[in-house]
Chains A and B, each alone.
Chain A
């Protein structure tokens, strides 16, 4: 069963990445999807990032109650945790629900209402027209959201630290600047690009091959969220193993 779906997924991707019939029409769709996926997800990503940064700062401080440990280490740990793990992984898991579910249900509904059949009869490569713009839009906008999430997370930690008295602003800044290695940003972005591709393509695959009616659209959306979340976590492990 796994190999059947894996093979079908690869063939699906082959169809998705064939030459578009009309670049202008595809470009319009890419811009529309960038708005839906990127701009539409900004709010939830901002809220999550603010709380992630704040909680990381407070919990790190709680676990480092010792006079032997310099306080600015809270800044170092918050910075590294937010950049390398929380922003790329947690944000993408949330987006698997928001964007992945939406992609699968949109394509699933189009399938059961014969809209995809209508495209195919017109001679349009339906998987290319419907899925390629979603993948491109995801791979462009989600990394942007993750970078914003990194800044927001660290900034919220910077605000919450002095506010709760766990660390002063100067100590936090000193920690954020200490032993700075830009390589972690590179790793985080590699993760984000891989996760974005997995999220959009797996969700599209689940939605595109929906069979049945309204109930099955729900099943496809659930599968899309579950499979993309599990594969994001698996890919997270692989990237960490290979790049760190």
Chain B
């Protein structure tokens, strides 16, 4: 479980996050939504330690991650899997080496065990016989799947996904969404997804946080989201005609 307590973050004089508190439970898909510039990416980067917070606490199962130094953070970081918007795969390596990297760095597995784990992770994301492919030869959807395979290679307790559907066609988006949800349920991972794709939110959003002007403006499930009487939430959720016709 991840708990945020009064998290604040500023860049120079510009306050991006204002006293954000929230709880992300394991086994459900937690989503952070909000318009551009609302602070979603900053919050995610603070949670994974890429940005230092100015005030507040980020607790990973009771341990305040934000107060730890680089070395103290390593045990928690080993339990974190991250799927980046661009997948952030190492383009100097092939698919197999990308998934092998965290295993080589931190596990005591034998060569055979590592290979088994790689093949298991690839199979789990519905990719097979792609081990030797170069990253440049993969499609956008395949890159995301390899990104997920790399993220789950070390059997993480926490999974973060930054805009997992960006740049993907609707069909592939649904596949990626369902994959993230299945993995979350199967391994009881604490999953936090940063998204502004409303289809995705309605499809898999068990617990949603709506950020507005750097604040936790609204919190609830996807069914509560469409019934919300909050003006900012409604403006965001029903911005498209499709959402209006489907849910209003």
Contacts and interface: CB of A to CB of B under 8 A. Distances in A.
Contact of B84 (A24, A117, A125): A117
B78 A113 contact: no
A125 B70 CA distance: 9
B105 A114 contact: no
A213 B101 CA distance: 26
Nearest to A129: B105
B149 interface: no
Interface residues of B, number: 25
A123 B50 contact: no
A121 B104 contact: no
B150 to A, nearest CB: 8
Nearest to B79: A123
A122 B77 CA distance: 6
B239 interface: no
B77 A121 contact: yes
Nearest to B48: A121
Interface residues of A, number: 15
B82 A121 contact: yes
Given A123-B73, A123-B74, A123-B78, A118 B106 contact: no
B80 to A, nearest CB: 6
Given A114-B84, A117-B84, A122 B90 contact: no
Interface in A121-162: 121-125
Nearest to B70: A125
B78 A118 contact: no
Given A121-B48, A121-B49, A122-B102, A114 B88 contact: yes
B105 A117 contact: no
B86 interface: yes
Contact of B106 (A21, A113, A121): A21
Contacts of A120: 49-50, 77
A164 interface: no
A24 B106 CA distance: 11
Contacts of B48: 121
Given A115-B88, A123-B77, 8 more contacts: A113-B88, A114-B85, A114-B88, A115-B90, A115-B91, A117-B88, A118-B88, A120-B77
Interface of B: 48-50, 70, 73-75, 77-78, 80, 82, 84-86, 88-91, 101-102, 104-106, 154, 160
